[in-house]
Amino acid sequence: MVPTLGTRLEFLERCLKSISSQEARADIVIVGPETPALHEMAARFNAEFLKDPGSLTGAINLGASSASPAHEFVNWLGDDDLLAPGGLRAVSQALDVNPSAVVAYGACRYVDEDDREIWLNRAGPWARRVLKWGPDLIPQPGMLIRVSAWRAVNGVDESFRFAFDLDLLLRLQRIGSLVDVDDVVSSFRWHADSLTVGDRTTNLRESEDAKRRALGPVARKLSWLWERPVRGATRLAAAEVQRRSRK
């Protein structure tokens, strides 16, 4: 699924090209406002078009609801993000050979508006091990989720504004394993109006709420011990990426 407001058509076109050029076949669903430009884009890439329900999380859930019994895996991609060549095949094969896995993910390049790399998130297997208490290091762009698992946890929680991807991963982790493919599978575009860049404080607060829900009663009471250091480390990492993007 590609949720979009239709305001970044150049980036959206690059995004759709990165999906349609994958070796592994993928059906594309664009969820956005009713505009001639988006309908034309959907027709050009043979994508299904659904009308934006009014929120990003709602758009993601709406797109996922269109999956048919023939669809095994699902995910969404920001309209300015990219799949790396071969990325979709890598994560789909990882799920094929790991029947107990519900999510496959890989490394993610952070790029600026000209596609220049400014950071590489290659957390690997450590990302899933610290998910409940540390920073969220699993890149959402490029990861793939079993449709059966998506439906088992009822998709993304629409009460979240920013940390819905982390909350989703934590709930999926309860029913199956998360596997890393040890390869770059996507690119996340870092710029001033990216949601996760634009409201870091709310994002951190929601992330802490999601992680507390996933902890047991004892660990939840002690979560204050590591929340402040994790918050600080997350802010420092974001500041470093922002600094590199301005060079």
- Residue ranges of domains in the chain: 2-245
Compute the average pLDDT of residues 60-78: 97
> Nearest to residue 81, comparing CAs of 190, 180, 167?
190
Rounded average pLDDT over 104-126: 91
Average pLDDT value over all residues in the chain: 89
* Best mean pLDDT range from 47-51, 131-135, 188-192: 47-51
Residue 222 CB-density burial (10 A; 0-12 exposed, 13-18 middle, 19+ buried): exposed
Kindly tell me if the per-residue pLDDT of 146 is higher than 80: yes
Q: How far apart are CA 164 and CA 40, in angstroms?
A: 30
Above 60 in pLDDT, residue 245?
A: no
The whole-model pTM stands at 0.89
Most confidently modeled range among 50-59, 109-118, 216-225: 50-59
**Residue 54 DSSP symbol:** S
CATH class of 2-245: alpha beta
- Does 161 or 231 have the greater pLDDT score? 161
Task: Report the pLDDT averaged over residues 105-117.
Answer: 93
Residues 180-190 have a mean pLDDT of: 95
Among the listed residues 236, 231, 101, the one whose alpha carbon sits nearest the alpha carbon of residue 179: 101
Cβ within 8 Å of residue 147, ≥6 positions away = 64, 67, 71, 72, 73, 74
Q: Which residue has the tokens 């596609």?
A: 115
Identify the pLDDT of residue 80.
94
Mean pLDDT across 209-229: 72
pLDDT reading at 138 higher than 90: yes
* CB 238, CB 230: distance < 8 Å: no
Q: pLDDT at position 38, please?
A: 98
Q: CA 110 to CA 84: how far, in whole Å?
A: 12
User: Where do we find the tokens 């309209």?
Assistant: 79
